[in-house]
Structure 1
Amino acid sequence: MAELKIGDYVKGKRFGSFEHDFQGEIEKVYENSVLIHILEFDQADRILVGELNNRAIVRKDDATLAKVKNS
């Protein structure tokens, strides 16, 4: 698995009240999880994403790298 870094664009698996997967940019990396700024999501999850202020903490194992930040 590639090392996740701040600025990487990732896909997050649905969890909790999310009905669908989502995508966004990593804002912070923790030991076993990442804070994702949610940028793309299904409209069915619109209210939940708004309540979470467009952010979610996701286990690293549940975050799939979609695009690497250019250094």
Structure 2
Amino acid sequence: MVTGSELAIGEKISVRKSQDVPLSFKGTITKVYENSALVSIDSFDDQYKEVVADLQNKTVVGFKHIRLVNKTEK
């Protein structure tokens, strides 16, 4: 699990689908809160196209669901 001190605006992350998160996606941190972050959704599977449209390509994700993308994957 990452913490707020590990995250910075512009950081690339990945999120896996879970009970709390409706889709898997890769994104970019746009704002960091106390226990979560506002994330722009950059890439996702086509099956989630309607969900992403409903979210207007942004969502708030708790730190426990965020995984930092390796620098080599950017």
**Shorter-chain TM band:** 0.7 to 0.9
Give the TM-score normalised by the residue count of structure 2: 0.79
% identical aligned pairs: 33
More displaced stretch, 8-17 vs 32-41: 8-17
Task: Return the structure number with greater helix share.
Answer: 2
Q: In 2, Cα distance between the equivalents of 1:27 and 1:53?
A: 14
Report the AA paired with residue 54 of structure 2.
E
Contact 1:22–1:41 under 8 Å retained in 2? yes
Cα offsets for 1:2-57 (capped at 9, x unmatched): 60111000001224572x41011000000000111000001010001011000111
Change (3 A) 1:36 1:67: farther
Is 1:41 equivalent to 2:44 in the alignment? yes
1:26 and 2:29 aligned: yes
CA-based RMSD of the aligned residues comes to 1.9
How many residues matched?
67
Structure 1 residue ranges without an equivalent (≥5): none
| TM-score (ref. length: structure 1) | 0.82
* Alpha-carbon separation, structure 2, partners of 1:5 and 1:58: 14
Unmatched 5+ residue regions in structure 2? none
